[in-house]
Amino acid sequence: GCDIVICTPGRLEDYVQRGVVSLRQVQHFVLDEADSILSMGFGAQVRALIASASGRRPDKRDEGHQVMMFSATFPKKVQELAADFMRPDHLWIGVGQLSSTASSVEQRFEDVADMNLDEKYEVLLRLLEQSKDPEGKTARTIVFVNTKQIVDELSWKLADEGIRATPIHGNLTQAQRDRAFGILTSGRSSVLVATDVAARGLDLPGIDHVINFDLPRYNNDYVH
């Protein structure tokens, strides 16, 4: 056995159904990125897993079981879904204003609505140029785009300009993702180009700028 299991809902449900994992002795059930998990339709799987752990319905657990949910954003609709897994007297803890940007972050907007891809790229280059320190080193920056193709294309273009950019998207293995993060945090690369899907779960220290080359598909993704 083990003390802590970290997994996706789908994979854990598969293991439970095949008898590889038993949840009978689980006391604490934690959902990180709860808004994403519930809004993406994993509610039924989560409900089944909680029931497997407690032997009862999610909202009828005994005092020996605890469900905790964490998220940077929690829209009203997702809150209603989450209520199905919590007791009526559950404790809600909020830090700051819900679904708002951090007050310490300075926001700047560039009007690129009528620009093509090449023109937007020139704006990106200008912003990166402005971020350089007196020694000419580009500030650590994350650039978010909406497609894997643009991730690779921007990375190549930046490399042609002498700016080492590290790409990250869903086609990479976990080992490749870890290596990309290591390249950025070690200073061997100044720019990380990532799809907006990769935005969730990123927690990289020492980042100076975040640039949304493409607008996020959902408002909460921008906040997150």
Q: Where do the domains of the chain lie, and which CATH numbers do they carry?
A: 9-85 (3.40.50.300), 117-223 (3.40.50.300)
The pLDDT of residue 103 is above 90: no
Which of the pair, 153 or 174, is modelled with greater confidence? 153
pTM for this entry: 0.62
The pLDDT of residue 98 is above 90: no
Instruction: Output phi, psi for 215, to 5 deg.
Output: -65, 140
Question: pLDDT at position 122, please?
Answer: 94
The pLDDT of residue 25 is above 80: yes
Q: Taking residues 86-102, what's their average pLDDT?
A: 71
Report CA torsion sign: 75, 78, 79, 82.
negative
The pLDDT of residue 218 is above 90: no
Number of H helices, E strands in the chain: 8, 6
Average pLDDT over the chain, rounded to whole? 82
Distance from C-alpha of 80 to C-alpha of 96, rounded to nearest angstrom: 20
CA–CA distances in Å: residue 168 to residues 82, 174, 195: 31, 10, 7
